[in-house]
Structure 1
Amino acid sequence: MFKKKILISLFLSVAIIATACSGGGKQNKTDNNSSSANDKSENNKNSSIKNTYWIANQEEGDWKRSVELIFNDDGSFHCRSITGGDIDSYCSHVDADSYTWIQNSDMIDLEFNTDNPHKKVTFYAQILNNGDKIRCSDMFEISEESLTFIKQDKMPKLTSIEEDSDKLIGEWELVAYGDYSPHDMTSDEGTEFGSTLNIYKKNDKMYADYHFIREKGSGKSDIEQMGISFNKKPLTLNCLNEFWSASFNEAVIPEGADQKIKLNVNFTLVGDNKLLLIEEDPESDFDGYPTLVYLRKGTKEYDDRENYFYHQVVTVSDINELVQNLYANTKIILKEGTYNFSNLDSDTSIDEYGESDSGSNYFNYLLYTDHIRLEAEDGAKVSILTNSSTSNVLEFFGGNDISFKGLTFGHNVEKGFCTGNVLAFSSCDGIRIEDCNLFGCGTYGISSNGVSNLSVINTQIYECSYGLLELNNTYDSTFKNCVLRDSEGYNQFEMNYCGNISFEDCQITGNKAEDMQKLFIASSGSNGIVFKNCNFKNNSYKTKSNEDIQFIDCTFDDNK
């Protein structure tokens, strides 16, 4: 269904706006033949397509796409293709220097012209149904099927600096850092990642107050009354607002950053209540800076900001319904009860983001699943279990923005027979576990490998058969107000090649390191491991730790 062509390149974007925007760059004047053909067409069977707006929609399962055509009266046209929804949509444009149309009765030539080298690619469209439909092959060459465009009642309003720049005025708050939620980002000690932007006018000039606490090592900004300038160019080449953007008049230098850096701040409006912003270092060749999404405070979009990344919010009451809704960009509310993966119906399978193998108990393995949240209904007691001693209760590979709240996870297996962990994460970024219980006989409460920004808050981990935690190549992670108790076996904390792992206000009690070394906290090749204001009580071990681990304001009442 999809083909790659040399003559046409596609530029993709990460956001969608409510206003319609044009595609392409500079417009060349059409020749006399083009103008003549357009004028003569008004006397033909079909009326002229001057100043008309057309949309073709395609849908196949969860895949959605719309293609827009805008015919101007000067013989030029705009076109763009938008695929996806409000969050993960992207926009494509046909790469050309000018776009011209010629109408001959019920036929239209759509010409894509490039100057250097001089070249013209033409697509032919036919007017149908007394002028209210147009059929044309896909000029983006995404689909082999022809597109059917429906004529719209009126031309769209195209955004401009003169008419729309004042819509920037207001208070804005960061809700997305690229593909991540701010909740999933780890900032420097004692601070919470986040940003606000207040834009206002003073003496007919526009200014901004800009506050940003960035991720670890990147510093913060507290800027007041920064001047704003406007540019007749898009924020990025593929931005849906193709007509204008804004920028700070001066570069921003974050305070407290590991390295001194100057950042240019550019932003644009996409819809009335959504703003996109990019911080970039002009002296760097790096071009992968994340797009930051801000929502206007006091709007319904802002009030629903916690669900920004979720395409759907569903409520489930049994394991079959849970598995059937384990999709990316989904928030799942679980009613009270026990959800046992081993009780899954044989004809129920996990979605395409995971694997299903009833013989191997892999219903609970999710592959590349982003933006998923499992949360207990208010006041409900919810347990997620497995009868398999060899399986992890729930495992993620390659996912981002994964969160759990108010749930109990564990193995329904006699103690001492488990070889699976409770929760396992590999190559994931942005994990949040809050108000949960993770119990053995799972080998470890949490096992991670290649993970960043793991946050565990107000959670209990207990009765595990190997140890409490097994963290490998894990970075920028926090355990706060947690109870880590009554586990035994090997090293209770196993941390290999990790960085910036903090434990704050945790109760660590009744655990036993029973192997030959009797090492309680084992670390290899790690740095920045800190226990702060933690209480160690009735733990049994010979050696507390084997590397330079920092203990700040901690108390120890252990049985060594």
Structure 2
Amino acid sequence: MKRRLMAMGLLLTWALAWGSSALAAEETEVEVTLNGFEIELEHPILAWKGSTMVPVEEFCRSLGGDVQTASWDSSPLPGGILYRWAEDGSGVLTVEWYDRTVILTPGKEGAAFRDGVLYAPLRPLAEALGLTVEWTGVVEISYPKRQVYAESLEELFNAVAPDTEIALAQGEYSFADMDVEAIHNPYVLVDYDVFDTATGEYNTGAVYQVVIQNVRDLTITTGNYPTPTRISTPWAYADVWRFENCRRIELVSGIAVHDVEPGFCAGNCVELENCRDINLLELTLDGSGAYGLCAINCRNVGLYSSVIQNCTYGAVSLWDSKDIELLNCRIRDCTGCFHLLEVCNTSDVRLWECYAIEGNSAGTLVESTYGSQNVVFDRCHFGENDFGGINGYGWQSSGGAVFVDCTGLS
């Protein structure tokens, strides 16, 4: 039976005067994280008289909720919150997630309009929806994920779903050996629209790439084994890991190999498209094709304690993206590249404490075009590289990358 939680049981009564802008002096903005990722909304999350107040509609969308307008927060991810306004214009908002329902009525139980936006106290709202709320200097919201252990690529891709953590058994896995007919999952697409070098055609049915799509709050880990798990594709134009329209994804440990002879290829080790809040941790991105990491129209992507090696187009390609960071990473042995780092219409890119950028060769170290901004190398070490130039520029150039306390760059 569906459990219905009414807002009147959630909160203490608040004065409607909170909605007045005259009280701005009593407010401070609050940082809130969800499963470790910071929640960024158009309107601020505010602390007022001991409670954290959230703009409810935007908060719902940040959880993958129903979409009202196109924005960074608007991906219609299945399994997310559903919410609807009362048709009578009363401003009552009904929020549903799985078997839980909350009804928020302005003027009652703490819910109030502020400058036309419905706010409500965060803790009772989140806990009523089944979330855990903790204070650790910031407000941390979390909830347990379904645990799955997979022993094959088929089991892994069939387990992909929201609110899920998948642990892949140690081993070596190739997409050439995967039984495509065994994949039955709306969150996974087997994409045959891949160029087949054997025939010179697309859609031959002989080559493919797997796309994880439209999913949120997913973790995939291969475990911290003495011998890292290796996942490879044998096809020059296929990606190893590809995510589209996803949010709050963690990919942890292992080797992703674009396992073909170096040359003219278009496949990447990790490709992200229309994604937000992505953590890539302790990976080895070993490409002999295009890039180790490619992000298109993404925001808040982090590559941490990882290695990018043996790529021939470049190490990283970023298009139409924002807030990208590489921390404590090694970039090595990427030779004959166009550019080691390609940045197009992208802002706020930071490579910091990357202690070994070495053995690489490229026309330029950084190519920043179409108004890219704030590309920074911070405390990085360069060694035995061969770059035709440091900053390459396209039209409407940003002026190139900035180097802060870096060593070995000449």
Give the match for residue 148 of structure 2. 314
Q: CA 1:536 to 1:238, structure 2 compared with 1: closer, same or farther past 3 Å? A: same
TM-superposed CA distance for 1:509, in Å, is 1.2
Could you tell me which residue of structure 2 aligns to residue 361 of structure 1? Answer: 207
Structure 1 Cα separation of the partners of residues 116 and 50 of structure 2: 16
What is the one-letter code of the residue matched to 1:401?
A: R
2:293 to 418, 440, 446: 446
Out of 353, 360, 367, the residue aligned to residue 505 of structure 1 is: 353
Partner of 1:238: 94
Higher mean displacement: 262-271 or 375-384: 262-271
Secondary structure in 1 matching 2:189: coil
The amino acid across from 2:110 in the alignment is: A
Q: 1:236 to 1:386 in 2, by over 3 A?
A: farther
Q: Which has the larger radius of gyration?
A: 1
Whether the aligned pair in 2 keeps the contact of 1:416 and 1:441 (CA below 8 Å) is: yes
Counterpart residue identity of residue 231, structure 2:
I
CA–CA distance in structure 1, aligned partners of residues 401 and 239 of structure 2: 29
Give secondary structure in 1 for the equivalent of 2:94. coil
5+ residue gaps, structure 2: 15-29, 55-89, 96-101, 193-204, 393-398
Distance 1:410 1:536, change over 3 A: same
Alignment-mate amino acid for residue 552 of structure 1: V
Distance 1:424 1:268, change over 3 A: same
Instruction: Report Cα offsets for 1:470-505 as digits up to 9, x if no partner.
Output: 111111111111111110221111111111111111
C-alpha change, 1:445 and 1:378, in structure 2 (3 Å) is: closer
In structure 1, distance between residues paired with 2:249 and 2:318: 17
Q: Does 1:543 align with 2:389?
A: yes
* Distance change >3 Å, CA 195–CA 163, structure 1 → 2: closer
Tell me if structure 1 keeps the 8 A contact 2:318–2:342.
yes
Counterpart selection for 1:183 from 37, 41, 58: 37
Tell me if structure 1 keeps the 8 A contact 2:344–2:368: yes
1:247 CA displacement: 6.6
SS at 2:261 equivalent: coil
CA distance in 2 between partners of 1:346 and 1:409 (Å): 19
Query: Using the alignment, how far apart are the partners of 1:186 and 1:296 within structure 2?
Result: 17
What is the Cα deviation at residue 245 of structure 1?
3.0
Residues of 2 paired with 1:20 and 1:294: CA distance? 14
Partners of 2:239 and 2:46 lie apart in 1 by 40
Q: Give the SS at the match of 1:407.
A: strand
CA gap 1:356/1:483 in 2 versus in 1, 3 angstroms: same
Taking structure 1 as reference, are residues 557 and 327 closer, same or farther at Cα in structure 2, changes over 3 Å only?
Answer: same
Residues 1:430 and 2:277 aligned together: yes
Output the CA distance in 2 between the equivalents of 1:211 and 1:246. Answer: 9
CA contact (8 A) 2:52 2:123 kept: no
Paired with 2:373 and 2:331, the residues of 1 have a C-alpha distance of 22
Q: Which deviates further from its counterpart, 538-547 or 363-372?
A: 363-372
User: Which digits, 9 at most, give the CA deviation of each residue in 1:514-537, with x for residues without a partner?
Assistant: xxxx22211102111111111111
Q: Does the Cα contact within 8 Å between 2:352 and 2:378 map onto a contact in 1?
A: yes
Q: Secondary structure at the match of 1:410?
A: strand
Classify the secondary structure of the residue corresponding to 2:5.
coil
Query: Which stretches in structure 1 are left out of the alignment for 5+ residues?
Result: 1-16, 23-157, 165-171, 188-193, 200-206, 213-233, 252-261, 277-292
Residues 174 and 465 of structure 1: CA distance in aligned 2, closer, same or farther (over 3 Å): same
Q: TM-score, normalised by structure 2?
A: 0.68
State yes or no: 1:466 paired with 2:313.
yes
Task: State the secondary structure of the residue aligned to 1:274.
Answer: helix
Contact 1:403 1:431 in 2 (8 A): yes
Tell me the secondary structure at the aligned position of residue 241 of structure 1. strand
Equivalent residues of 1:19, 1:271 under 8 A apart: no
RMSD over aligned Cα, in angstroms?
A: 3.9
| Distance verdict in 2 for CA 1:161–1:313, change over 3 Å | closer
The match for 1:421 among 264, 268, 278 is 268
In the alignment, structure 1 residue 404 sits paired with structure 2 residue 251: yes
Question: Do structure 1's residue 296 and structure 2's residue 296 form an aligned pair?
Answer: no
Match of 2:6 in 1: 21
CA contact (8 A) 2:170 2:223 kept: yes
Cα distance 1:347–1:366, how it changes in 2: closer, same or farther (>3 A)? same
Q: Report the counterpart of residue 340 of structure 2 in structure 1.
A: 492
Cα offset, 1:397, TM superposition: 1.8
TM-score if structure 1 supplies the norm length?
Answer: 0.51
Within a 5 Å distance, the mapping from 1:74-89 to structure 2 comes to none
2:365 maps to 520
Deviation per residue, 1:84-123 (Å, 9 max, x gap): xxxxxxxxxxxxxxxxxxxxxxxxxxxxxxxxxxxxxxxx
Pair 317,474 (structure 1): closer, same or farther in 2 beyond 3 Å: same
Pair 1:389–1:432, CA change in 2 (3 A): same
- The 2-side partners of 1:557 and 1:357 are apart by 41
Residue in 1 that maps onto 2:219:
373
Which residue of 395, 407, 410 maps to 1:555?
A: 407
Deviations 1:101-146 (A, max 9, x none): xxxxxxxxxxxxxxxxxxxxxxxxxxxxxxxxxxxxxxxxxxxxxx
Contact residue 501 and residue 529 of structure 1 kept, 8 A? yes
- Share of identical aligned residues, percent? 20
- Distance in 1 between the 2:180 and 2:10 partners? 57
Show the 5 A alignment for 1:55-134: none
- SS of residue in 1 equivalent to 2:350: strand
CA deviations 1:155-201 (Å, max 9, x no partner) are: xxx6275699xxxxxxx99443xxxx5526689xxxxxx9997x9xx
Structure number with greater CO (CA < 8 Å, separation at least 6) is 2
Runs of 4+ that moved beyond 4 A: 160-164, 184-187, 194-197, 209-212, 262-265, 269-273, 305-308
Residue correspondence of structure 1 range 268-347 to structure 2 within 5 A: 268=121, 274=127, 295-297=132-134, 307-308=143-144, 310=145, 312-347=146-181
Contact 1:400–1:428 (8 Å) recurs in 2: yes
The 1:346–1:354 alpha-carbon spacing in structure 2 relative to 1, beyond 3 Å, is closer
Once the two structures are superposed, what CA deviation does each residue of 1:446-471 show, in whole Å capped at 9, x if it has no partner? 11111111111111111111110111
Aligned 8 A contact 1:369 1:398 in 2 = yes
Counterpart of 2:132, as a letter, is: L
For 1:160 and 1:494, the matched residues in 2 are separated by 50
1:339 Cα offset (Å): 2.2
Task: Map 1:25-64 to 2 at 5 A.
Answer: none
Offset from partner CA, 1:211-231 (integer Å, 9 cap, x none): 99xxxxxxxxxxxxxxxxxxx
Letter in 1 for 2:223: E
Q: How does 1:247-258 map to 2 (within 5 A)?
A: none
Aligned AA (2:93):
L
Q: Judge conservation of contact 2:123–2:133 (CA < 8 Å) in 1.
A: no
* C-alpha distance in structure 2 between counterparts of 1:458 and 1:552, whole Å: 20
The residue type equivalent to 2:182 in the other structure is T
CA drift at 1:274: 1.3
Tell whether the 8 Å contact from 2:5 to 2:128 is kept in structure 1 after alignment: no
Q: 1:163 to 1:247 in 2, by over 3 A?
A: closer
Deviation at 1:544, TM superposition (A): 0.6
Equivalent of 1:267 in 89, 104, 120: 120
